[in-house]
Structure 1
Amino acid sequence: MATVTFAIKHGLKVGEDTLSEVLLREPTAGDIIEAQEESEKLVLVPSKDGPQPQFVTSPTLVGVNVLRRQIVRIGNVQGPIDLVMLKRLHPEDMGLLNRKADELEAAMLAEITPKTAGQEAAERGRDDGVGDAPGTAHPETRK
């Protein structure tokens, strides 16, 4: 499982200490499921038969609840970090946590999303000589 360690600028005040070193890991399916469950709220929705109960999930809360589960630790405080503690962070530190989580997710998706042969060839550049004039060598092999 991929992890990243970094420092937040303003830190998390715990007692007399200000903790700034964060260890963040990529999310698991369990993190996502638990975050979605935790972010559900039962509300009454109007209908022709009168108000009906319905579960509504807040996308913002899902994101926050996944993020707090991804935090392995901040300083010596072990994760998952509770919502009350997460709310105490400076907005700049929260932004950095979100950026680092996005980077981990992008790296994870890049690992599991296979590239097509065409994508791989485009990344390497054409090395098969196609497009060269007949009888000429590939530009990289010319002497």
Structure 2
Amino acid sequence: MLTVTGKLPFGMKIGETTHQEFEIREPLVEDMVEAEKTVSPTDLHAFNLEMLARVTVRVGSFEGPFSVGMFRRLKRHDYNALVQGMMQADNLGKPVSSGEAAT
């Protein structure tokens, strides 16, 4: 599965440790369907939190499970970094058109 790694500007505190590195996998349709069972996709931030809880592979050495509540406690810049990572992971799964070079 395709993944993206990045760094949280402030970090996510899990137990006594604040972790900054993260890894997010490519979102699947199944993730969206499960997230929609909990919140409406029109509630953008709540939907993104549901998606992040599903597609985050790890934060630092913590490999889950992740809950929405863990992401709710983040600073805005950390949330934005994770959402950007999720979008980058989603773009990794896009097919390459005949006019584009694969990377």
TM-score, normalised by the number of residues in structure 1? 0.61
Distance in structure 1 (CA, Å) of the matches to 2:30 and 2:64: 15
Identity %: 29
Greater than 6 Å deviation, 4+ residue runs: none
Q: 1:18 is paired with a residue of what secondary structure?
A: strand
Q: 1:37 is paired with a residue of what secondary structure?
A: helix
Paired position in structure 1 for 2:13: 13
Aligned mate of 1:62, from 39, 42, 47: 47
5+ residue gaps, structure 1? 40-56, 125-143
The answer to whether residue 82 in structure 2 is matched with residue 82 in structure 1 is no
Q: Which has the higher contact order (CA 8 A, sep 6+)?
A: 2
Distance in structure 2 (CA, Å) of the matches to 1:80 and 1:24: 13
Relative to structure 1, the CA distance from residue 31 to residue 80 in structure 2 (aligned partners, 3 Å threshold; closer, same or farther) is farther
Q: Which has the larger radius of gyration?
A: 1
Paired position in structure 1 for 2:23: 23
Q: How far apart are residue 71 of structure 1 and its match?
A: 0.3
Please tell me the root mean square deviation across aligned C-alpha atoms, in Å.
Answer: 2.0
For residue 38 of structure 2, what is the amino acid of its counterpart? E
5+ residue gaps, structure 2? none
Q: How far apart are residue 115 of structure 1 and its match?
A: 2.7
Asked if the contact 1:70/1:80 (under 8 Å) is kept, the reply is no
